[in-house]
Structure 1
Amino acid sequence: MSSPPAARLAWAAADPYATALRSGRGPLFLRRTDGWLLPLEVERWCARADAVDRQVLDRCEGAVLDVGCGPGRLVAELAARGRTVLGVDVSDAAVEHTARRLGSASMRRAREAGGGQALRRSVFDPLPGEGRWDTVLLMDGNVGIGGDPAVLLERVAGLLRPGGLLIAETAGADVDERARVQVVDVVGAFGAGGDPFLWARLGTPALVRYARGAGLRAVGQWEAGGRCFAALRTRSASSSAEPPKSTAVISSQRARKPSGDSPVADR
């Protein structure tokens, strides 16, 4: 599946975003063409996973793909638990930040028990383990990636195994909107920030509507710490079908011979 127009490298070209991640602080906003601003929680993203994050991660099953992983707090937390996890993000700064977290001395032993990596990759690019991930995460507004929720959710459904789990964070309000936005670090005229790109904001009801078209069914909704979440599943394989032989696996990024059962991290 090809990336929606302007979606693939949008965050990568957003210099204020890279600057904020490298410093670990804002202010940072998504700004619409009409001047409306959505504050971005850079400090929370750059900190360790908080209590609400950990409650979400407690619900994850098996191998986890974190789409739009940002500076990697969730990837690091899952790796520390010994879970197999891969974070993908189009931002060099985000992937570098995640790699630093995973490379710290305190993480190495935990990673040996499971595995944690980050790739500079769009969700619409070819990814390791397609069709075999147990859980996909769309946190921190990442249901908006690409500005077309139907396309994004169809892609996510294709990444999950039959019966796989999607956990998505949604807007607190019942909204369903698409807009052309920029990442900016100051309140000013449109055009002063990163490259414009399409983005979407969805409340839980809108997410559930789009999800049905992608073959995903809602299995849970909850609020915690002022944040809203939904859990959805893909259709299960037929009871007469043979169970999958392997779950998603991420390998070392060192070159190695590909296998039909174990996708390599970079291809």
Structure 2
Amino acid sequence: MSAPPRVPRTRPEPVAPDPAVPEPAVPEPTLSELAVSEPAAAEALDAHEEHAWSRCDPWSAALRSGRGPLYLHREDGTRHPLDIERWCAAPDAADRTVIERCRGSVLDIGCGPGRFLVALAERRLTALGIDANPHAVARAVRAGGGALCRSVFAPLPGTGSWHTALLVDGNIGIGGDPPRLLRRTAELVRPGGTLLVETAAHALDERLSVRVGDGRGVHGTAFPWARLGSTALLRHAEETGAWAKAGEWEAGGRRFVALRRA
């Protein structure tokens, strides 16, 4: 399979700061910092993720078309549907409960097609999306968001100064190691900042190997993933010593947790 195309550099349109947000103690990343030159996706990926989303052809095809069906296939034969049509649409009512809790500069980890980025820009918040799949980044940029093709574990602009970070649509599973991901997000978010996480609706704490499939027998490469309920998330967050519970809510049959950076 040929390498995915490189995403051209794109500078997002400047947005004015939200006057309701106090000035940060640490310099907020500017849009010029966000529009940095990017290496090819394969060079940007951490070894922990290098065989994950960016090589999953059914995932890339669905991102290009905006349509499914699309599934996460487990080794035991179980499959979990991926809601690609919702991710490629405008934010729904449940998404808006997350957007309303965003303050200051926002880092969307695993931004996918960029629906949160567009909505945050409309609220005049500085927002950057990162995703390991170049097709996701290309779609996010076309939609009007600022996005980089980069792993969350790679060097990122604004490290330590983000007011809010997002891990929605199951992205707490990135890398298959939630404690590591929580420690990494603690490095990215400023003290007093917020991490907004979507969790599984049920009590889960799973580490698994999965592949993305289209339901018609085409599968991508296996990669590590995790699925967590809110109880497991809060336990892992407390163990990092960097995060404390700031809130928890349900919307549209989905469950979310807000964590405050110590």
Q: Same fold (TM over 0.5)?
A: yes
**Partners in 2 of 1:136 and 1:8 — Cα distance?**
22
Asked if residue 222 in structure 1 is aligned to residue 249 in structure 2, the reply is yes
| Equivalent position to 2:129, from 73, 84, 87 | 87
Consecutive unaligned residues of structure 2, counting only runs of 5 or more, are 1-43
Asked if residue 130 in structure 1 is aligned to residue 171 in structure 2, the reply is no
| Equivalent position to 1:38, from 57, 65, 80 | 80
**Partners in 1 of 2:50 and 2:195 — Cα distance?**
21
Deviation at 1:13, TM superposition (A): 0.3
Deviation at 1:8, TM superposition (A): 3.6
Q: Quick check: 1:141–1:201 contact (8 Å CA) kept in 2? A: yes
Deviation at 1:80, TM superposition (A): 1.4
Asked if residue 176 in structure 1 is aligned to residue 205 in structure 2, the reply is yes
Deviation at 1:129, TM superposition (A): 0.3
What is the aligned-residue RMSD (CA, Å)? 1.4
The SS at the match of 2:55 is coil
The SS at the match of 2:53 is coil
Q: TM-score, normalised by structure 2?
A: 0.81
Consecutive unaligned residues of structure 1, counting only runs of 5 or more, are 103-115, 236-267
Deviation at 1:81, TM superposition (A): 1.4
**Partners in 2 of 1:139 and 1:119 — Cα distance?**
17
Trace 1:73-222 onto structure 2 (pairs within 5 A).
73-102=115-144, 116-186=145-215, 188=217, 192-214=218-240, 215-222=242-249
Trace 1:18-33 onto structure 2 (pairs within 5 A).
18-33=60-75
**Partners in 2 of 1:82 and 1:34 — Cα distance?**
45
Identity of aligned residues (%): 54
From the superposition, tell whether residues 149 and 17 of structure 1 become closer, same or farther in structure 2 (CA, over 3 Å): same
2:258 maps to 231
Q: Quick check: 1:9–1:90 contact (8 Å CA) kept in 2? A: no
Q: Quick check: 2:114–2:140 contact (8 Å CA) kept in 1? A: yes
- Encode CA deviations 1:158-196: one digit per residue, 9 max, x unaligned: 1000111000000001000010000000154xxx41110
Number of aligned residues: 218
The SS at the match of 1:134 is strand
Q: TM-score, normalised by structure 1?
A: 0.79
